[in-house]
Structure 1
Amino acid sequence: MDHAVVIGASMSGLLAAAALHRLFAQVTVLDRDTLPTVDTHRRNVAQSRHAHGLLARGREVIDELLPGLSAELVAQGAIKGDIQRHSRQIHSGQRLARGASGLDGLLVSRPLLEGQIRRRVSALPGVRVLGDRIVTGLLSQRGRVTGVRLADGRPIPADLVVDAGGRGSRTPFWLGELGYDPPREDRVPIDVRYGTREFHRGPDDLGGDLVTIIGPTPESPRAGVALALEDDRWIVTMGGYGEGPGPGLSEFAGYATTLAAPDLHQLISTATPIGEPRAYRIPAAVRRRYERLARFPEGLLVTGDAVCAFNPLYGQGMTVAALEAGVLLGAELRPQAFFRRIAKIVDAPWDITVGGDLRMPGVEGVMTPKTRMVNAYLERYLAAAAHDPELALRFLRVANLYDPPPSLMSPGSLLKVLRSGAQPAVPVPA
């Protein structure tokens, strides 16, 4: 095959290009932004200014697509750490037991991560990453997409077009122009609002731990995360359903007192702030059901947030994008087969996040009996995992997308949970 075009130099677009270069003589990535020559935030990626979680599974897949990338990032200041030993994981008010998971996560700012991936992808044979290119439509002939059209009218022919244009993807509209039905959308109105500040990081902060994650509960529907970053920084992001922290430092610290654990408040109260606060809002989690369309043009695929934009509080988007890029390496690039395969990737994190969101007050949606049962069991499971490192690791393997959620109900896990007699917890001390 000769030429593939990727719409969007996002994480999903760059990783798609890393896969496609093994299959096509030429790969062209087109992005509407002026792409920076240094590692900095991009104008059309406002979310990059907030904490980003690269799950352990995502790091492994990216290293498979771009061998040696993790080592390159660590050489530039990124931090590797065991996802269980070096992190404080507090979920449903339970502080999970520590242990050695053998799974390394990578702590790195979004600008450094995206910048290094962009450099690596740009250096691949036959790959071009071009900024200031706005795609306004698709070219087609006899039921097949044959390229894209730019805002200045220029056509760019292609054997395959991959839309990695994010939440604002225009593919549903373009399908209508070509005479196809748009995909059905599953939409959960979450109205998540969050704010972020950075702080200087000292060697004794958080007792030397690298990560703190405090999940929301129905009693305290607010979440927070602190991640150690390069250049001796902390990035702290907190948010909730319908409201987030105020911009002032005292408001930010006050918000931290309402979380299910005091760890972030203790950090914010002693660390020195850097720079200005940032805020962001996500009105809804959206999944476009391309796998359920009966008709779809050949020569066109969709990936990343353009297929499923998760609640960002769960930190699964980049890892899902990496796993979807890996699917492109398969021999079958026909749309129906591709969409069915990535649907299996999306199913688990979508069910996890939606099930969690529907527990929160003010989030509208249908709570099925199955979801109620799973949520009730998970409460008991996490209470037991507060005292059992093996149960805690099994939960983290699911959260990091190694294992499917039903693995938490294996006979061994179920027996441990039932024997524990543990009950849902009240807010936990540090």
Structure 2
Amino acid sequence: MTHAVIIGASVGGLLAARALSGAFEQVTVLERDRLPAGAAARRGVPQSRQAHALLARGSMALDELFPGFVAEMLGAGVPAGDLHADCHWYLDGHPMRRAPSSMPVYGVTRPLLEHLIRERVRALPNVTIIDAAEVTGLLHDGRIRGVRTSDGTIGAGLVVDAGGRASRLPFWLRELGYGEVPVSTVRTGVVYTTRHYRYEPGRIGFAVINAPYPGMPRTGVTIRQEGDRVVLFLGGILGEAPPADDAGVMAFAESLPGPEIRDFLRTAEPLDDPVRMRVPASVRRHYERMPRLPEGLVAVGDAVCSFNPIYGQGITVAALQALALSRTAGTGRWFAGAARTMDVPWSMATATDLRFPQVAGPRRAVDRPLDAYLRRYRAAAAHDPDLGAAFLRVSNMLAGPAHLLTPGRLLRVLLSPVRRR
């Protein structure tokens, strides 16, 4: 095959370019935004100024796509830790018992991560990245033949939409007569803020994660990052919005189950002002359910599925999609295969959101007993490190949800003492 065109040069688009570089003679990435020369936030990725998490499976996938990538992150000053031993986890308000593990965690900012990926992609001899290039439509004669841009047309044997949450692909397909794309939406009304503080050794652990749960629609996270910084992420759902003033931030931190963030903030030195963002809903576009689609078309990343940002799944899912794309080059039933890649992270994220009775969405008969078991599981992980390790493997996409339901773990959870928060 000769030419692939990718719409969007964010993480999903760049990873798609790497995936297709082995199957196409030429790959062109078209980005509407002006790309920075270094590791800097940019207008086209508003969440680049927010806290990000790179799940353990995501770092492994990036190392598969770009051999030596993790070592390159470390060389750029990204701090690393043990996901279980070096992080304070609070599940349903219960502090998870810590223990050594083989699961890594990296405190990398989104601008640096995107910059490192972009430089790796730029180095590929058959990939060209063009910024300030807006795609306005698709070339179509029964199959996709390329794209229209503000400057003309570009022919291609494959077009990949990596246009993010604001993807125009549903509109273009409707315009071409393919009908409406089915959509699943789970509305949680996430509002979150990010602020950076100076890191001082011994003042706070590698990361602190207070996960929200019914009765506590707030979350608070700190993570060490490159440049001797600690990023503070405060979030709320269902009308809970974190404040931006110092007194309000402290009050918000004091309401969280764990004391670490509150204690850190008492003497922490801020390095910037808080930045706020709103994500009204998680949205999944079901291209695999459409009765027909044109050949020569692929969509990846947030253009297909945008997750609740609290769970940090987006970059890892984009990396897994890129691995799949490298195997298939977008041929065959791409959207059906991509849907299978997203099924587990989507079901995990939405099931967690649907624990809140105020969140609208379909609930199965099995959800209530399963939620009761998982509530007890989270409490038992406060004193059983094996249960905590299994939970982290699942949440980091290293194992499927059935990993929490093995006979041994079922027995230990059911025999564990019921403890109050």
Percent of paired sites with the same residue: 47
TM-score normalised by L of structure 2: 0.97
Task: Flag as ranges the 4+ runs of structure 1 deviating above 6 A.
Answer: none
Q: Are the aligned partners of 1:221 and 1:361 in contact in 2 as well (CA < 8 Å)?
A: no
Unaligned runs of 5+ in 2: none
Q: Does 1:188 align with 2:186?
A: yes
CA shift for structure 1 position 347: 1.2
Q: Secondary structure at the match of 1:402?
A: coil
Matches within 5 A, 1:224-303: 224-241=220-237, 242-303=239-300
Unaligned runs of 5+ in 1: none
Give the match for residue 393 of structure 1: 389
Q: Secondary structure at the match of 2:328?
A: coil
Q: Are the aligned partners of 1:51 and 1:196 in contact in 2 as well (CA < 8 Å)?
A: yes
In 2, the alpha carbon distance for the partners of 1:404 and 1:266 equals 36
Give the match for residue 216 of structure 1: 212
Q: Secondary structure at the match of 1:255?
A: helix
In 2, the alpha carbon distance for the partners of 1:227 and 1:27 equals 36
Q: Are the aligned partners of 1:216 and 1:259 in contact in 2 as well (CA < 8 Å)?
A: no
- Could you give the per-residue CA deviations for residues 332-390 of structure 1, whole angstroms, max 9, x where no partner exists? 6236x222222122111111111111223532223322222222111111111111111
Q: Are the aligned partners of 1:216 and 1:260 in contact in 2 as well (CA < 8 Å)?
A: no
Give the match for residue 155 of structure 2: 157
| 2:201 aligned to which of 200, 203, 221 | 203
- Could you give the per-residue CA deviations for residues 173-223 of structure 1, whole angstroms, max 9, x where no partner exists? 1111221023210011111001111100001122xx211111012111101
Give the match for residue 94 of structure 1: 94
Q: Does 1:380 align with 2:376?
A: yes
| 2:320 aligned to which of 320, 323, 326 | 323
In 1, the alpha carbon distance for the partners of 2:187 and 2:2 equals 42
Matches within 5 A, 1:62-81: 62-81=62-81
Q: Secondary structure at the match of 2:350?
A: helix
CA shift for structure 1 position 265: 1.3
Give the match for residue 3 of structure 2: 3
Q: Does 1:53 align with 2:69?
A: no
| 1:402 aligned to which of 387, 393, 398 | 398
TM-score normalised by L of structure 1: 0.95
In 1, the alpha carbon distance for the partners of 2:371 and 2:77 equals 39
Give the match for residue 42 of structure 2: 42
Q: Are the aligned partners of 1:55 and 1:319 in contact in 2 as well (CA < 8 Å)?
A: yes
Q: Are the aligned partners of 2:20 and 2:329 in contact in 1 as well (CA < 8 Å)?
A: no
CA shift for structure 1 position 76: 1.1
Aligned length: 420
| 1:355 aligned to which of 332, 351, 355 | 351
In 2, the alpha carbon distance for the partners of 1:314 and 1:333 equals 28
CA shift for structure 1 position 250: 1.6
Q: Are the aligned partners of 1:200 and 1:271 in contact in 2 as well (CA < 8 Å)?
A: yes
Q: Is 305-314 or 242-251 further displaced after alignment?
A: 242-251
Give the match for residue 366 of structure 1: 362
Give the match for residue 124 of structure 1: 124
In 2, the alpha carbon distance for the partners of 1:202 and 1:389 equals 28
Q: Are the aligned partners of 2:12 and 2:318 in contact in 1 as well (CA < 8 Å)?
A: yes
In 2, the alpha carbon distance for the partners of 1:90 and 1:346 equals 26
Give the match for residue 147 of structure 1: 146
- Could you give the per-residue CA deviations for residues 278-326 of structure 1, whole angstroms, max 9, x where no partner exists? 0000011101111112201100001101111000001111101100111
Q: Are the aligned partners of 2:297 and 2:330 in contact in 1 as well (CA < 8 Å)?
A: no
Q: Secondary structure at the match of 1:274?
A: coil
| 1:333 aligned to which of 330, 333, 342 | 330
Q: Is 277-286 or 253-262 further displaced after alignment?
A: 253-262
Matched AA of 2:335: F
RMSD, aligned CA:
1.3
In 1, the alpha carbon distance for the partners of 2:259 and 2:355 equals 22
Q: Are the aligned partners of 2:220 and 2:256 in contact in 1 as well (CA < 8 Å)?
A: yes
- Could you give the per-residue CA deviations for residues 56-75 of structure 1, whole angstroms, max 9, x where no partner exists? 10000011101111111111
